[in-house]
């Protein structure tokens, strides 16, 4: 059975898409720790990130770099933090999280709520900053 993230890639479930190429896909996290929290996935389904083959895993980080550089142009932050959990969705993914302080990346924090308009504007702004 396809993971929820594969359904996003296939367009069966909507998302706020940031970037896509033939192997990878990036979209806004629907329950963000901070504004700009983004997920990067390989299109090929693998549950555990360290089961992803070397070539795909390396390319995933390079794809994530391009996305992170665009996010940091839009969201005022010191760094883009990178985290892997994978406790909820069994499809390898990297969390990209704009950081101003260490506690911004605490997954026990209350999540921020964005309006539909804010999500759409954020997508547009980040996409406009992709190089």
Type and span of the H or E element at 7: helix 4-9
Told to check if 2 binds ligand AMP by CB under 6 A, we report: no
Structure token digits, residue 130? 């992709």
Residues contacting residue 40 through CB under 8 Å, at least 6 positions apart: 24, 25, 26, 60, 63, 64, 67, 93, 94, 96
Q: Is 95 a catalytic residue?
A: no
Told to check if 59 binds ligand AMP by CB under 6 A, we report: no
Contact residue for ligand AMP among 18, 19, 26, 29 (CB under 6 A)? 29
Contact residue for ligand AMP among 22, 51, 55, 88 (CB under 6 A)? 88
Q: Which stretch binds ligand AMP (CB under 6 A): 29-37, 53-61, 62-70, 113-121?
A: 29-37
Half-sphere exposure of 44 (CA within 13 A, CB side): 13
Binding site for ligand AMP (CB under 6 A): 4, 13, 15, 27, 29-31, 39, 85-89
């Amino acid at each position: 059975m396809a993971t929820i993230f594969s359904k996003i890639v296939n367009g069966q479930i909507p998302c706020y898409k940031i970037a896509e190429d033939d192997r990878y896909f990036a979209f806004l996290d629907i329950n963000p720790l901070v504004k700009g929290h983004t997920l990067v996935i390989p299109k090929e389904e693998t549950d555990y990130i360290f089961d992803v083959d070397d070539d795909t895993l390396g390319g995933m980080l390079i794809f994530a770099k391009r996305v992170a550089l665009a996010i940091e142009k839009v969201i005022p932050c010191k760094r883009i933090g990178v985290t892997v959990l994978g406790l909820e969705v069994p499809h390898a993914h990297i969390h990209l999280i704009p950081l101003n302080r260490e506690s911004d990346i605490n997954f026990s924090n209350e999540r921020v709520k964005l309006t539909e308009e804010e999500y759409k504007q954020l997508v547009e702004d980040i996409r406009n900053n992709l190089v």
